[in-house]
Amino acid sequence: MLKPQNGPTRELVNLDGLYRFAVDFDRTGHAERWFARRLDSRLEAAVPASFNDLYADQRIRDHVGYVWYQRQVQVPRGWNGERIHLRLDSATHAATVWVDDVEVASHQGGYLPFEADITDHVAAGEQFRLTVAVSNELTQASIPPGRIDVGADGRRTQTYLHDFYNYAGIHRSVWLYSTPSEHVEDVTLVTDIEADAGLVRYEVITAGDATGAVTVRVLDADGREVAAAADAAGTVRIENARLWQPGNAYLYTFVAEIRADGVLVDSYELPFGVRTVEVKGRRFLINGDPFYFKGFGMHEDHVTVGKGHGNAQLVNDFSLLDWIGANSFRTSHYPYAEEVMEFADRHGIVIIDETPAVGLNGAFAGVFGGGPRSTYAEDFVNEDTAASHRQVISELVARDKNHPSVVLWSIANEPNSSEDGARAYFEPLAALTRKLDPSRPVGFVNVMFDDWDKDIITDLFDVIMLNRYYGWYLQNGDLAAAEAVLEQELLGWDGKYGKPIIMTEYGADTLSGFHSLYNQPWSEEYQSEFLDMYHRVFDRVEALVGEQVWNFADFQTSNGIMRVDGNKKGVFTRDRRPKAAAHSLRRRWLKR
Ligand code: GCB
């Protein structure tokens, strides 16, 4: 799915700003057709932002169900004869969209874009009323899954088995855009390297009556044409290609054009990089060279805006990644805003791109309350969950397939990978991901309970991604004991599989400003010692090809006895101040 853009044949209007906002406390909005009139509320909500922390009102923060957004939209007067599309970059977790009284789109899944062709419902030069009903409910049919309980008084409560606050709302931008009726609908690029040349295998899909012919061009960063072809699919060759490299990004632009009788009908420009990715033995290769991941599992999480995307926060977070010497991150635990992916493309940051499949593990019910339970069961991870999982994999690959920064798909975080049903569940999902994108390795992130001798699915994947908390959830305060267990386990994985291992999470909750002489858990000193211990082990295990600390910054979670105003495993605080460990990590990573 292409990101909308301005161009010689297309126009783009951003619809961010303040929307009228109403909370559907009594679940009457649909029956009362709130979309058919001005929302009856004095509230306004910022878009993009999570709605939860915008108001001094606990009832709104804790609301489970629908919230409604509404605004007037002016269609540019020059758009007569064009196709007119509406696009939401994300609405968390499900949304229905109306243009005046007409429902034009409905989408499940909170972290991926969707759009509607609204040409038949609007007119150039006129206004329409845009209404979006957004539900924050998670059920066994959603990804991530969750459970809704309804009390005797009708009050709904939401529980889920993942460790971040269930922020919701319109988290990313909303767009109105025009295209010609015959237009470029999709572009897929896969690159290869042959001696000094870059090969670009491409496919351009068009929509509308095919009267024109597709031509393609590749421009270098200075806008000079370096390759061209006159087919909708094929391979073009860039002589003396400059590669996209970690820490040294170089982007070309792929231009797909449709012409009829020599006249330009449509044009779409896609920045891309020439690079290869490959797993060979115990190595993870980018452009044929071994790559070592240094960085973090992150979250889209900031004060006030929650999971709302903001470019100021984007620039600041990447600046901190640069300062600390990180070269990569994982989009834990859901796809991030497209602006993030594009920024990484431009700045040479490597991404492990993760679906929102988190919390598919009944063992966590023991941690979050209620006692452990089986995962692959009719009333938990079932065929409905699998259908949503297939959908998020398909939509993620469709959105992110052309980003050079993306080198590895993570199709789930810490699912149960030892129970009987795990293989039947994951085998088709791994196969689907490979079919959709044969050019990138595929993995999932393994949980500490499902060690190499219990896990039954790792052979289906290309790399081993591990989250380990020896010295925190286990051997708390005893780093010597933790060091021995950690090393032994890594050697166990290596002995069994001989595949590259990335430590995708390791970390300790740390209260910024708490210091101790005695290496006490929660102190800044303990976090530094903890990370140092892991690094000593990593440097002894050859198969280890990456270290991503949990977490980049402190982040908000649901309430519970394990969390004090959120998860405190950040190396930076929630407002992005460094803890002591940030300095020790920086010393290691700038050298490594
Ligand atoms: C994990 C999860 C992550 C949690 C983290 C923790 O294994 O993947 O979402 O936040 O542990 O801090 O417990």
**What number does the ligand 1 atom closest to the CA of 333 have?**
9
**What number does the ligand 1 atom closest to the CA of 555 have?**
10
Return the residue whose CA atom lies nearest to atom 2 of ligand 1: 163
Q: Which residues contact 345 (CB under 8 A, 6 or more apart)?
A: 244, 249, 251, 271, 273, 403, 404, 405
Ligand 1 pocket, mutate which of 166, 470, 550, 562 (most atoms under 8 A from CB): 550
Helices (H) and strands (E) in the chain, counts: 9, 30
69: its two tokens:
């957004």
Return the residue whose CA atom lies nearest to atom 4 of ligand 1: 163
The span from the CA of 328 to the CA of 326, in Å, is 6
**What number does the ligand 1 atom closest to the CA of 473 have?**
13
Task: Compute the distance from residue 551 Cα to the ligand 1 centre, in Å.
Answer: 9
User: Which own/partner pairs from 555-559 qualify as long-range (CB within 8 Å, at least 24 positions apart)?
Assistant: 555/164, 555/165, 555/299, 555/301, 556/164, 556/165, 556/167, 556/301, 556/306, 557/163, 557/164, 557/165, 558/160, 558/165, 558/166
446: its two tokens:
């393994």
Return the residue whose CA atom lies nearest to atom 1 of ligand 1: 467
Task: Compute the distance from residue 505 Cα to the ligand 1 centre, in Å.
Answer: 8
Phi/psi region, residue 145 (left: phi>0; alpha: psi -120 to 50; beta: rest), is beta
Handedness of CA 540, 543, 547, 550 (dihedral sign): negative
**Strand 293-297, strand 544-550: pairing:** parallel
* φ, ψ dihedrals at 364, nearest 5°: -70, -20
Return the residue whose CA atom lies nearest to atom 13 of ligand 1: 163
The span from the CA of 41 to the CA of 237, in Å, is 58
* φ, ψ dihedrals at 342, nearest 5°: -65, -35
Local confidence pLDDT in tens for the 592 residues of the chain:
999 999 999 999 999 999 999 999 999 999 999 999 999 999 999 999 999 999 999 999 999 999 999 999 999 999 999 999 999 999 999 999 999 999 999 999 999 999 999 999 999 999 999 999 999 999 999 999 999 999 999 999 999 999 999 999 999 999 999 999 999 999 999 999 999 999 999 999 999 987 889 999 999 999 999 999 999 999 999 999 999 999 999 999 999 999 999 999 999 999 999 999 999 999 999 999 999 999 999 999 999 999 999 999 999 999 999 999 999 999 999 999 999 999 999 999 999 999 999 999 999 887 776 788 899 999 999 999 999 999 999 999 999 999 999 999 999 999 999 999 999 999 999 999 999 999 999 999 999 999 999 999 999 999 999 999 999 999 999 999 999 999 999 999 999 999 999 999 999 999 999 999 999 999 999 999 999 999 999 999 999 999 999 999 999 999 999 999 999 999 999 999 999 999 999 999 999 8
Ligand 1 pocket, mutate which of 467, 506, 571 (most atoms under 8 A from CB): 467
The one-letter code for the residue type at 562 is: M
The span from the CA of 535 to the CA of 540, in Å, is 9
pLDDT, one tens digit per residue, over 488-507 is 999 999 999 999 999 999 99
Nearest CA among 328, 330, 343 for reference residue 294: 328
User: What's the number of CA atoms in the CB half-sphere (13 Å) around residue 352?
Assistant: 34
Q: Which residues are catalytic?
A: 414, 505
Give the gyration radius of the chain's Cα atoms: 24
Task: Compute the distance from residue 54 Cα to the ligand 1 centre, in Å.
Answer: 26
The span from the CA of 250 to the CA of 273, in Å, is 6
Return the residue whose CA atom lies nearest to atom 9 of ligand 1: 163
pLDDT value at position 161?
Answer: 93
* Residue in the structure block whose two tokens are 């925190």: 472
Which H or E element spans position 5? none
Task: Compute the distance from residue 163 Cα to the ligand 1 centre, in Å.
Answer: 6
**Where do the structural domains in the chain lie, given as residue ranges?**
11-179, 183-272, 290-591
CB atoms within 10 A of CB 573: 17
What's the CATH fold of domain 11-179? Answer: Jelly Rolls (2.60.120)
Q: Which residues contact 155 (CB under 8 A, 6 or more apart)?
A: none
pLDDT value at position 365?
Answer: 82
Task: Compute the distance from residue 49 Cα to the ligand 1 centre, in Å.
Answer: 24
Ligand 1 pocket, mutate which of 163, 360, 416, 468 (most atoms under 8 A from CB): 163
The span from the CA of 27 to the CA of 63, in Å, is 11
What's the CATH fold of domain 290-591? Answer: TIM Barrel (3.20.20)
List, chain by chain if needed, residues with CB within 6 Å of any ligand 1 atom: 163, 333, 413-414, 467, 505, 550, 567, 569
Count Cβ neighbours within 10 Å for each residue of 307-323 and write b for 16 or more, e otherwise: bbbbeebbeebbebbee
Residue 120's alpha-carbon distances to 32, 77, 85, 365, 425, in angstroms, are: 25, 15, 10, 48, 41
Task: Compute the distance from residue 499 Cα to the ligand 1 centre, in Å.
Answer: 24
DSSP 8-state assignment for residue 440: S
- Give bridge partners of residue 376 from the DSSP assignment: none
Return the residue whose CA atom lies nearest to atom 10 of ligand 1: 163
List the beta strands (DSSP E) in 287-345: 289-290, 293-297, 328-330
Return the residue whose CA atom lies nearest to atom 6 of ligand 1: 163
Task: Compute the distance from residue 140 Cα to the ligand 1 centre, in Å.
Answer: 21
pLDDT value at position 462?
Answer: 98
pLDDT, one tens digit per residue, over 49-73 is 999 999 999 999 999 999 999 999 9
The span from the CA of 549 to the CA of 537, in Å, is 14
CATH no., domain 183-272 = 2.60.40.10
**What number does the ligand 1 atom closest to the CA of 414 have?**
8
Task: Compute the distance from residue 334 Cα to the ligand 1 centre, in Å.
Answer: 14
pLDDT value at position 369?
Answer: 67
Return the residue whose CA atom lies nearest to atom 3 of ligand 1: 163
pLDDT value at position 209?
Answer: 83
Ligand 1 pocket, mutate which of 414, 505, 557, 564 (most atoms under 8 A from CB): 505
